[in-house]
Structure 1
Amino acid sequence: MLRRISFRRAGTMPLSLSAFMPGLTADAIAVLLGATLIGGLVRGFTGFGFAMVFMPLASVVLGPVAALGLIWFIDLPFALPIAARSARRAEWSEILPLLLTATLALPAGIWLLTWLDRATMRWILALLVLAAVALMASGWRYHGRPGVALSLGVGALSGLCNGMASIGGMPLAVFWLGAQRNDRHKTRANMQAFFGVSTLIGGAILWWKGILTPSGLAMAVPLFAIYGAGLWAGTHGFRLASEASFRRGAYLLIFLSALSSLPLWDGLLGR
């Protein structure tokens, strides 16, 4: 069942939207629309980051479990074609070890998601994202070619984060964005190829766990176009941006999303 939140100033939304998202206020629907657009912009711009933007904000409105299912439905029609286009440029010798341990760790992350209470999960989610952004923005760099042990460890952490909050790209972003030897084009190709395969694997496990529901699919329908517009704008922005702008833009948007989702502000914002 979707968890809903009541805002102090609830307005009305057009029937075309409210019919897909029954029981949500106008403000709550606006949060989902904004999170989808900004998340798509970041995803198109960097090759990762949709969940890092979307999940903290959507969890405020729906709760982490329902938000996890919703993000899978939204991203699926886009992740697979993007992955197919990136497959030839990706370094599969790096990707396959990551996929192996990510798949093995994914059920553990889902178990934590369903076991922990909603407030605790929101704190964990927001703080994990903020910590990742701080690490990436600090200028940390990984030197050399990653070994098997490191790749397996990063993959396991990615699978755990993916199961908890669909933010499996966060460890990969720290890992690949920090690698000095990889340029931004290689980084995007690796991430997009990884996400395409992991989306299929993750979807099977989420369906088995009962997290993918018809109500989640219905809610995703009006968000597809919003996400696609964000992806298109982000992709074109990526082509025009410098390396420094590429990194700063991604860090800033992800940071603001996680910061605004902290339960610390619930009383102030009336949510």
Structure 2
Amino acid sequence: MLAALTATGLAGLMRGVTGFGGAIVMTPPLAYLIGPHEAVVTTLLLETFAAAPMLPAAARLASRRRLLPLCIGACATAPLGAWILVALDPAVTRQLIAVVVATFSLLLLAGFRYLGEPRRATSFAVGGLAGVLTASTSIGAPPAIIYLLSGPDPAPLSRANLTLFVVVISGSSLIGLFFAGAFGPGQLLLPLVLAPSFALGVWCGGKLFPYVNERLFRRIALTALFTMGLVLLLT
């Protein structure tokens, strides 16, 4: 339990300082501690919990036109991701999580950006990829992070869009996972136990943000996550 509390606390710290990365930090250790099904569900519930206080402000700023195709794509493919999580052997799912962590940590670390024009078809495809990855591994936000933050929108609008999108893909993934039999009411106790640790991490990260070199912190954290993904993949 101490290891799970530590992992969620560090995930909250990452999210509080950078605004993202909670799932990338939290899911791999939890997948090995409690199993991939429980890890994915726990991460999605905690990420939704963390985003909830930001929803009113995000809803006022967000662009419905930009979000709608992303959300439709995510909701359309979340059931497929839920089926993948339930159908795969847990050992294979752990390896899949490690691959996703290593890949997106490297892309974010390298500063990869989408250079094309934001089109509806592209938004739908990005949303679809995010939906599959979120329901199967809980780590589906990075494609949307890369896509939204690379666009022409100002940073506050992009962050608002991302906040709402994370809630939508987390909610649709949880619904898909519930109906796929990945979890039931009995699996909700652990997220409740871990929620204070995650919330404390987010709070500490927010307090540290003005005093931390965000770019340096992000590079160190993503390098550590890339290394962790490789280690988990090879073990």
* Fold conserved between structures, TM > 0.5: yes
Q: Return the offset for 1:90.
A: 2.5
Residues 167-246 of structure 1 aligned to structure 2 (within 5 Å): 167-177=139-149, 179=150, 181-182=152-153, 184-241=155-212, 244-245=215-216
1:32 match:
4
2:108 match:
136
How far does the alpha carbon of each residue in 1:110-148 deviate from its partner, in whole angstroms, 9 at most, with x for none? Answer: 111111111211111111111112122223322354111
- Residue segments in structure 2 that go unaligned for 5+ positions in a row: none
Change (3 A) 1:244 1:78: closer
Residues 39-58 of structure 1 aligned to structure 2 (within 5 Å): 39-58=11-30
Identity of paired residues, percent?
32
CA contact (8 A) 2:16 2:202 kept: yes
Q: Return the offset for 1:224.
A: 1.2
How far does the alpha carbon of each residue in 1:195-247 deviate from its partner, in whole angstroms, 9 at most, with x for none? Answer: 12333333322222233323321112221110111111222333444563364
C-alpha distance in 2, partners of 1:254/1:182? 28
1:22 match:
none
Change (3 A) 1:73 1:252: same
How far does the alpha carbon of each residue in 1:236-264 deviate from its partner, in whole angstroms, 9 at most, with x for none? Answer: 3334445633642552353355345x153
Indicate whether 1:264 and 2:234 are aligned: yes
Q: Pick one of 51, 59, 74 that aligns with 2:31.
A: 59
C-alpha distance in 2, partners of 1:242/1:175? 24
Q: Pick one of 109, 120, 124 that aligns with 2:92.
A: 120
Name the SS of the counterpart of 2:61 in structure 1.
coil
C-alpha distance in 1, partners of 2:38/2:225? 21
Indicate whether 1:101 and 2:63 are aligned: no
CA contact (8 A) 2:135 2:176 kept: no
CA contact (8 A) 1:40 1:50 kept: yes
How many aligned positions are there? 235
Q: Pick one of 58, 61, 64 that aligns with 1:92.
A: 64
CA contact (8 A) 1:129 1:170 kept: no
TM-score (norm 2): 0.87
CA contact (8 A) 1:41 1:232 kept: yes
Q: Which moved more, 1:199-208 or 1:54-63?
A: 199-208
2:51 match:
79
Q: Return the offset for 1:36.
A: 0.4
C-alpha distance in 1, partners of 2:4/2:24? 14
RMSD: 2.4
Change (3 A) 1:45 1:257: farther
The amino acid that maps onto 2:6 is: G
Change (3 A) 1:154 1:42: same
Q: Return the offset for 1:180.
A: 6.1
C-alpha distance in 1, partners of 2:48/2:110? 32
TM-score (norm 1): 0.77
The amino acid that maps onto 1:216 is: Q
C-alpha distance in 2, partners of 1:125/1:38? 18
